Amino acid sequence: MKKLLIFSTLVLLFGAVSPETHLRKPTHRYLYVATPGIRNYLDYGGHGVVVFDIDKGHNFVKRIPMAGLGADGKPLNVKGVCASLATGCLYVSTLTTLQCLDLQTEKLRWEKAYEGGCDRMSLTPDGKTMYLPSLEKDHWHVVDAETGDVLRKITPNSGAHNTICGLNGREAYLAGLRSPYLTVANVADGSTRLVGPFSAPIRPFTVNGKQSLVFVNVNGLLGFEVGDLRSGKMLHRVEVTGVQPGPVKRHGCPSHGVGLTPDERELWLADGANQMMHVFDATVLPPRQVASLPVRDQPGWVTFSLDGRYAYPSTGEVFDVKTRKIVATLAEGSQAVHSEKVVEIHFEGDRPVRVGDQFGVGRVQ
């Protein structure tokens, strides 16, 4: 009787505890880094997927071997990376193929080539459908994420390059290297509309969580431009102050990399010529420059942890967003790891339970 009374009291205080609660493993966060993620340069981290433990100071965990070799037997450039809970897979695109890796077994499920090659893809929020650009050609493939089969083709004739699927699952944003317009594709029926024109062809870009604004890098600009996704009009042009544009090693444009923190309070911008990340207050329009942070090489990308605590420029530094201090650098032993293709994945035991995005997209909805 006494034991029953104690148990009843505990239930009242803390609630009933199911047997599964005791068996459930805590969630752990990892950063998956696809390499070679800077062109095909093996000195930036070799070839494979390098995994880092976010919860343990971004320490190196393991390297997962990957396919993706050219006819000469050398690794191909990695073009994009994303992950799906629906399929339990990590996807890595190269110049010619898309690879599907099982996140639990770490085995390759399939690798497929697509007409026109592959570039930086994106998955719909349910993880079931991928928008896969050809390699700077006229079209995007819409792909079944489970099988890799092509469902349909969208052809904006824009020089297919970068892709973001909106968080509401209704629209996909398609940017090409040859067009100053952003193509917006309706996920339900494949119809398209245009946003712009911007002042030059669009390079990396990001969107806010409500899918009302887009922030784009364009050729020739050390800075970014802002567009209204609803009206289809360009709103603002923002130029970096305090430094001068100059020659860049890669990508051919001064700013190649732009991202919003998940809370959308800040926008971070890559500056290749000056080896810096510039920080802007995004609570106002146009965003206002507030800080400039040096990095160890030319940055060509930026994304953020899902909780908004960390910024990940492609140069491998890990910044604390609040303090803007470097708290870690990605490395495997003495080998520094740089990549423009990274994605955060959470696990309970060996089961993936949450995934991030290679783009620094806003998450306020």
Length of the chain: 365
Give the chain as a 3 state SS string: CHHHHHHHHHHHHHCCCCHHHHHCCCEEEEEEEEECECCCCHHHCCCEEEEEEHHHCCEEEEEECCCCECCCCCECCEEEEEEECCCCEEEEEECCEEEEEECCCCCEEEEEECCCCCCCCEECCCCCEEEEECCCCCCEEEEECCCCCEEEEECCCCCEEEEEECCCCCEEEEEECCCCCEEEEECCCCCEEEECCCCCCEEEEEECCCCCEEEEEECCCCEEEEEECCCCCEEEEEECCCCCCCCCCCCCCCCCCEEECCCCCEEEEEECCCCEEEEEECCCCCCEEEEEEECCCCCCCEEECCCCCEEEECCCEEEECCCCEEEEECEECCEECCECCEEEEEEECCEEEEECCCCCCCCCC
| Beta bridge partners of residue 237, listed in sequence order | 225
Q: Into how many domains does the chain fold?
A: 1
User: HSE (CB half, 13 Å, CA atoms) of 314?
Assistant: 32
How far is the C-alpha of 107 from the C-alpha of 89, rounded, in Å?
10
Predicted confidence (pLDDT) per residue in 151-173, tens digit: 999 999 999 999 999 999 999 99
176 in any annotated domain: yes
139 in any annotated domain: yes
Q: Which two tokens stand for residue 344?
A: 């955060």
239 in any annotated domain: yes
With contact defined as beta carbons under 8 Å apart, do 30 and 54 qualify?
Answer: yes
9 in any annotated domain: no
Residue 361: its pLDDT value, please? 98
What would you report as the CA-atom Rg of the chain, rounded to the nearest whole angstrom?
A: 21
363 in any annotated domain: no
How far is the C-alpha of 109 from the C-alpha of 288, rounded, in Å?
46
- pTM flag (> 0.75): yes
Predicted confidence (pLDDT) per residue in 104-150, tens digit: 999 999 999 999 999 999 999 999 999 999 999 999 999 999 999 99
How far is the C-alpha of 324 from the C-alpha of 310, rounded, in Å?
9
Fill in the amino acid letter for 70: G
Residue 349: its pLDDT value, please? 93
1 in any annotated domain: no
Cβ burial, residue 128 (10 Å; 0-12/13-18/19+): middle
CATH number of the domain where residue 299 is located: 2.130.10.10
Q: Tokens 């719909």, residue?
A: 124
Residue 25: its pLDDT value, please? 67
200 in any annotated domain: yes
Domain that holds residue 197: 23-355
Print pLDDT tens along the chain (365 aa): 444 444 444 444 444 444 444 455 679 999 999 999 999 999 999 999 999 999 999 999 999 998 888 888 889 999 999 999 999 999 999 999 999 999 999 999 999 999 999 999 999 999 999 999 999 999 999 999 999 999 999 999 999 999 999 999 999 999 999 999 999 999 999 999 999 999 999 999 999 999 999 999 999 999 999 999 999 999 999 999 999 988 999 999 999 999 999 999 999 999 999 999 999 999 999 999 999 999 999 999 999 999 999 999 999 999 999 999 999 999 999 999 999 999 999 999 999 999 999 999 999 99
17 in any annotated domain: no
Q: Note every long-range contact of 59-62, with CB atoms under 8 Å and residues 24 or more positions apart, other chains counting.
A: 60/331, 60/332, 60/333, 61/30
